[in-house]
Chains A and B, each alone.
Chain A
Amino acid sequence: MATELEYDRSLYGIEHDAGPFEVTESQIQAFSRGIAETNPIYTDAAAAKSQGFQDIVAPPTFCTIMVHRVSLPDIGLKFGGKPVTGGMHAGQRVQARAPITAGDHLTASSHLKEVYPKTGRTGTMVFIVWETTFRNQDGTVVADVQESFIRRG
């Protein structure tokens, strides 16, 4: 029994690379202010260094903003034979893997994880899920970010 969902399934298994993106002290401080973080390792370089870090540390969810610098391809979604356009961001999940500090250069590698439809009070929706892995200049994985996007069927 086939579903009516059509999209570019050849995107599965393909990694889309981006970066490097430099992490700066001002970015970390702005993010920390934005989430009301007060731990000094996230707001003050001297405090972070006194705790053994190379520089000011990015809060664990920092890559939720870095992921916006990654361009993801259009999957060519059609539902019931009709192209689906527009939509909205449906959420993020972040798994912090290793500390990120000011001066790091992060690269991103993204792949299509899942595309699925669901129905609710407001009609049919299609969820497009991408997974992005961030690595630092040493090749260490520092975070995995899963992003979902909704398109209306």
Chain B
Amino acid sequence: MYLDMHSHSVSSDDSRATVEQYLKWIQVLRKRGHVVDGIVLTEHRKFDYDKDYAALANQYDVVVLKGSELDTRYGHVLVYGVTEPLTKDIDFGNVAMDTRELLKAARQHGAYAVPAHPGRFGIGLTEYIQQGEIFDDVHIVERLNGGSRKGENERAWELCDDKGYLGVGGSDAHLTSHICTCLTRFEAKISNEADLVEALLSEQFQPVWLEDTTNNPTSE
């Protein structure tokens, strides 16, 4: 199944897209022949315990999962399978937190943390690795990011090849029409956040462009 692993709704301070607008746009993508099964809302520096998108997900037949994107000392990190103990252990608003602490805490609390857009100039994980920082607990990074500028996804690709990291894909959408520009193809069926963490641990996935989800993919 195909999931957009990185998106922001109006719950984030810098997005103007509602969840329903995303789900309506996905209907358009489906009519165009693309296969899109779900999205993960990774709101900035927070986790929305109070948000329930089950009715919308059911109405539009799209899996809607919740995660977070945290700012850390060594770049942004996507967190999947967020649990209450994790939010008590980690200050989600602390932009100076050590990425390594987050990676460890996520696993301790049943979640999984994935460095976002590692090839991003000035802020991606690549920059810090080049400065000599070591991240032993990184195994998966966001290899395809829909918000990347020229050269940034290529740097992420090189990082994966160099370090042996696995990669996921996400649109990083902040606007309706940007949703699902990049996705992740999973072998497993995923219907909730726990399934997603299991699927990441299974290592049976790969990043894809939206165009790759048609019956006649442009590239693999």
Interface residues of A (CB under 8 A from B): 1-4, 116-124, 127, 148
Give complex CA distance A120, B147 in Å. Answer: 12
Contact of B97 among A1, A121, A124, A148 (CB under 8 A): A1
Q: Are A3 and B95 interface neighbours, CB within 8 A?
A: yes
Q: Are B97 and A119 interface neighbours, CB within 8 A?
A: no
Give complex CA distance A117, B94 in Å. Answer: 8
Contact of A3 among B75, B90, B94, B123 (CB under 8 A): B94
Q: Are B95 and A119 interface neighbours, CB within 8 A?
A: yes
Which residues of B are found within 8 Å of A123, using beta-carbon distances? Answer: 122
Which residues of B are found within 8 Å of A119, using beta-carbon distances? Answer: 71, 75-76, 95, 123
Which residues of A are found within 8 Å of B76, using beta-carbon distances? Answer: 119
Give complex CA distance A119, B121 in Å. Answer: 12
Interface residue tally of chain B, by bracket?
Answer: 10 to 19
Residue of B with least CB distance to A124: B95
A-B CB pair tally, cutoff 8 Å? 38
Contact of B96 among A3, A116, A121, A122 (CB under 8 A): A3
Q: Are B93 and A4 interface neighbours, CB within 8 A?
A: no
The yes or no answer to B44 lying at the interface (CB within 8 A) is yes
Which residues of B are found within 8 Å of A1, using beta-carbon distances? Answer: 90-91, 94, 97
The yes or no answer to B174 lying at the interface (CB within 8 A) is no
Sorted from nearest, which 3 A-B pairs have the closest CB atoms? A119-B71, A121-B122, A117-B95
Given contacts A1-B97, A3-B96, A117-B71, contact A122 B122 (CB under 8 A): yes
Give complex CA distance A124, B96 in Å. Answer: 10
The yes or no answer to B45 lying at the interface (CB within 8 A) is yes
Residue of A with least CB distance to B124: A121
Residue of A with least CB distance to B101: A1
Which residues of A are found within 8 Å of B93, using beta-carbon distances? Answer: 3, 116-117
Q: Are A121 and B121 interface neighbours, CB within 8 A?
A: yes
Give complex CA distance A119, B94 in Å. Answer: 11
Which parts of B61-99 form the interface with A (CB within 8 Å)? 71, 75-76, 90-91, 93-97
Q: Are A116 and B120 interface neighbours, CB within 8 A?
A: no
Which residues of A are found within 8 Å of B123, using beta-carbon distances? Answer: 119-121
Residue of A with least CB distance to B89: A1
Give complex CA distance A2, B91 in Å. Answer: 8
Residue of A with least CB distance to B73: A119
Q: Are A3 and B71 interface neighbours, CB within 8 A?
A: no
Give complex CA distance A4, B121 in Å. Answer: 24
Which residues of B are found within 8 Å of A127, using beta-carbon distances? Answer: 13
